[in-house]
Amino acid sequence: MFNHLFVPIDDFSIKISKLKKVQALVKSNGAKLSLSHVSSPIPPVIYAGNGYTAGSYMTLESHREACESHAKRLFERATEILGSELVYSKHHIYESDVTKGIVKGAKK
């Protein structure tokens, strides 16, 4: 029925019950599995009501490191839930539009 399942993940979707359903589909169909996480390529900026930025700035490099670390933790959590015997591909996409990022990941 399914040859390849593509599952975007984030902090909200990485629930045990959801990934267990994915695991069952993959195993019952002998399907390939790809997990994807989308991060914004631009660090967040906080604006005060007076038009000036507030708080500390994050450099592009430190933002990218934080995004990589977060994606790594998500994929590790997925592996804990899915089990290490289930092989899957991981895609960490940088895209300011999450929907476009998911589509990019699906095309890989």
Domain coverage including residue 92: 4-107
Nearest to 27 by CA among 55, 6, 7, 5: 5
Please say whether the beta carbons of 96 and 42 come within 8 A.
yes
pTM for this model (two decimals): 0.82
Rounded Cα gap, residues 44 and 102, in angstroms: 20
Q: How many independent structural domains does the chain possess?
A: 1
Per residue in 45-75, pLDDT (tens digit) is 766 666 665 555 678 899 999 999 999 999 9
Confidence band, pLDDT 50/70/90 cuts, at residue 24: very high
Between 12 and 105, the more confident residue is: 105
Q: What percent of the chain has pLDDT over 70?
A: 89
Rounded Cα gap, residues 35 and 106, in angstroms: 9
Distances (CA, A) of 49 to 42, 57, 58: 21, 17, 20
∠ at Cα 93 (4, 46), nearest 5°? 140
CATH code for the domain of 37:
3.40.50.620
31: tokens are 């399907």
Write out the E strands in the chain.
4-8, 32-39, 46-47, 53-54, 89-94
Token pair 């998911």 is found at: 102
pLDDT value of residue 47: 64
